[in-house]
Structure 1
């Protein structure tokens, strides 16, 4: 691993600094595909509160957590070590997927969950709008293009929040807490906590069909407050940058020896609206919809690993849950 770092970009005074911020965001998206944003609308208190309700949820009994079961038809709910990756096996984590209108843990089980999560989702959407506005300008799209594509008020928007917990482990021999992958959506916001490291990034992917090569990963130290942001496959390819912005491989790994503490992280995944038609400005790839993109991705990435015929609808929904990172 190298000593490389990702750039930190301030969103302070966004309305008056759009052009400056946009240049910084585009530079990071083109060169690394990862960056962090600071001076955003989420306060430290709000982030800590959301981590608190997340920790309280994962501290519940297995039976209580299972009351919000994972539903493959929506890719929402609670899963425990159910995410399989060829080469590394099952990820060593548990997670809860939610979005507005989905089933959430009851406040009787996790006090304050609904209030905190609703506020957190709304502000994640606001931060996303600012970042994607800048990307839209660089790609010569109308000012409201990405806002329409990610409109969480629309019933076909599949953006989601994922709360994650990686249990503590001793002498893991470099165990894979979350195997190497790219994200399928457009843009991911990742929240980490001080001292809970493990996220690693490998730059250098040139096109959306490029595979991971070698082991040239570098760590992104965990820090509470700054938001780590990464480009997903959807933004890299057909929707919308024609491989200009880079969706690079990343993973979460425990220490090879010694004690790795529990890791809590939160991811906000911008999947877009299922019926929205996507195409990059140079039309390098055919136009498609979010839904069709998911199906095609499953066929290209998963059928060959299944030893024959697969249930594309079932695997599609698992993929939505499966290749999201945090």
Structure 2
């Protein structure tokens, strides 16, 4: 059944979130940490600027790809490759800063903003991700004094602010397509991701997966352990040649027996392609019609080509993600009542608490 259009303002509910459904999501995630097996799958690539496709055609293609696997890629998205390259350059420069400089911008507790180093511990693995990140939530950066100064890294703030806005625009374009298919108003999700609101909590994250000595590789450790995203929609930019991202469609993960191995598919990085996946918030809003996709970043394989030329050293990996997360005061409602209502703030805090040390 098509959910009703939600044209009126979101009703207010108590801020104390029901824990049951979130805890069940985390309990399910804890069963996803095994090595699994390799499975080939076709990952849909959709041209948003296809001159031969109508808006309805593109809506249908996006919905079909998202409903089948929760994972798809887009081209013709309007973000110039030069802008993407500039952010990757800024990313490498930031993570090359001395540790004491990055520590000045450390992530305050319960904020999901700022710099962190190997502090994300996945419920699926019980081990810390081998990465460092810097997370930009524009509503909090000045208040928490999280931006590096121009002396520390020139042009960094303006580059990331511009890129955050470009990704937000693309995310809202895609979410508006899903809103139409769900029977919501076109601007349903745009109104609930408002960058002018102090409650805005969408986040741009730059990531540095650490280089490693081949001798230090250990079974059961991951650059990023298996997980689903907390948000509505994730946009990911990868650098060509820096492999490791793998996916397992949500429906397959949910439908297997707990002791059955998951089938994982590599997502090759391609210039100009934005990789997208459905997050838990949108899965709730869609009454599970759009599955939140399980994914991870595996460790480098010893036989993979390394840019350094040193056969004993496995290269770093950089990526850039934008997480479209509903504003803090928005209530995420399942139209059928399958999932209990919860504010986006409470939902995000519960997931952060389960994933970050301290």
**d(CA) in 2 for partners of 1:119 and 1:223?**
22
In the alignment, which residue of structure 2 is the partner of 1:311? none
Provide the TM-score with structure 1 as the length reference: 0.85
- Whether 1:25 aligns to 2:62 is yes
Contact kept, 8 Å, 1:149 with 1:272, in 2: the verdict is yes
1:284 Cα deviation after fit: 2.6
Asked if structure 2 preserves the Cα contact closer than 8 Å seen for 1:184 and 1:320, the reply is no
Q: Which structure exhibits the higher relative contact order, with contacts defined as CA atoms closer than 8 Å and separated by 6 or more residues?
A: 2
Give per-residue Cα distances to partners, 1:106-164, cap 9 Å, x unaligned.
22222211121111011111101110001000110011111101112211111011110
Q: Which entry has the higher C-alpha Rg, 1 or 2?
A: 2
What are the within-5 Å matches in structure 2 for residues 1-326 of structure 1? 1-12=38-49, 17-86=54-123, 87-101=125-139, 102=141, 103-171=146-214, 172=217, 175-205=221-251, 214-237=261-284, 240-258=285-303, 260-294=314-348, 298=350, 317-319=352-354
Residues in 1 aligned to 2:347 and 2:256: alpha-carbon distance in whole angstroms: 17
Going from structure 1 to structure 2, the CA distance change for 1:204 and 1:31 (only over 3 Å counts) comes to same
* SS at structure 2 position matched to 1:89: coil
Name stretches of at least 5 consecutive residues in structure 2 with no aligned partner: 1-37, 304-312
d(CA) in 1 for partners of 2:245, 2:205: 16
Contact 1:187/1:229 (<8 A) preserved: yes
SS in 1 for 2:42: coil
Q: Distance in 1 between matches of 2:173 and 2:270?
A: 22
2:70–2:293 Cα contact (<8 Å) kept:
yes
Displacement of 1:317 after TM fit?
4.4
CA distance in 2, matches of 1:273, 1:154: 8
Aligned length: 300
Does the CA-based 8 Å contact 1:187-1:230 persist in structure 2?
Answer: yes
Alignment CA distance shift 1:55-1:319 (3 Å) = farther
| Contact 2:79–2:166 (Cα < 8 Å) also in 1 | yes
Q: CA RMSD in A?
A: 2.3
- Contact kept, 8 Å, 1:28 with 1:34, in 2: the verdict is yes
Aligned mates of 1:281, 1:118 — CA distance in 2: 34
Question: Conserved in 2, the CA contact under 8 Å of 1:162 and 1:266?
Answer: yes
- Aligned-residue offset at 1:63: 0.5
